[in-house]
Amino acid sequence: MSKVHLIVDGAIAELRLDNPSKLNALTVPMLEALDAHCVALERDPSVGAVIVAAEGDRAFCAGADINAWSELPPAQFARHWVRDGHRIFDRLARLSIPTVAAVSGHAFGGGLELAAACDIRVMAPGATLALPEAGVGIVPGWSGTQRLARLLPEPVLKEMALFGRRLTADRALALGFVAEVADDVGAAARAIAAGTGEASPQAAEIAKYMIHGAVGEDRGAMIEALGGGMIAASADKAEGVSAFRAKRKPKFRGR
């Protein structure tokens, strides 16, 4: 049974980690399930927003399960564990649908990187954020030194990655890393996600592409997605396809 569930309730979907006995630590099957769910969400036009949440209130996600990677040979660790995880988190970050992380407990390592892959975050008052990788002899591998460098000031990120300091909810709010600190993060995240129901889905999608292009989140793909959307709606595209099917020369009109 998958330990990452996809629950769709009307226009709001929820990706829920369900491994509380291990503080929702991520395993290979969980990463694969997250990947598959993101593919399904991208193809579901009925979903207007996605909440990423977790079972239990002790930990949103304690990071990667050490048993899943500790015995991997160096080449497999780099080629598969790091790159596959990075690819999956990138897929979440680049969903065309707005995403909200409901951080109900501590988010460490890969758990923090998972929250960072969402568009915005809501955090419980007693939760903390950390990058403890150096304490077990490794470095962040799923965008902890890349995406987080765009979301947090450099000195703060260094505090966490180099010195092992934790970031409290209040400080994360002051830094703009979280949108809200709330006792009931699920309700807060759902209230935020519900706002997409009043917005044009296409406008929200394009705005997300534009912002991602500006901050460097897969800039090349974002630019081509915007250009592709513009040309796909043109009369010239319709004429080109029609001419190809009719095996005739197209008569483009520039519109």
Catalytic residue among 113, 154, 159, 224: 113
**How confident is the prediction along the chain (255 residues), in pLDDT tens digits per residue?**
679 999 999 999 999 999 999 999 999 899 999 999 999 999 999 999 999 999 998 999 998 887 877 777 778 777 777 888 889 999 999 999 999 999 999 999 999 999 999 999 999 999 999 999 988 888 888 888 999 999 999 999 999 999 999 999 999 999 999 999 999 999 999 999 999 888 899 999 999 999 999 998 888 888 888 888 888 888 988 888 899 899 999 998 877
Distance CA 101, CA 121 (A): 5
DSSP calls for 156-214: HHHHHHHH---EEHHHHHHTTS-SEE-SSHHHHHHHHHHGGGGS-HHHHHHHHHHHHHH
Examine the residue annotation and report whether 159 is marked as an active-site residue of this protein.
no
Partner residues linked to 49 by β-bridges:
12
Catalytic residue among 14, 133, 205, 217: 133
Assess contact for 112 and 130: CB atoms under 8 A: yes
Q: What is the pTM of this model?
A: 0.91
Examine the residue annotation and report whether 154 is marked as an active-site residue of this protein.
no
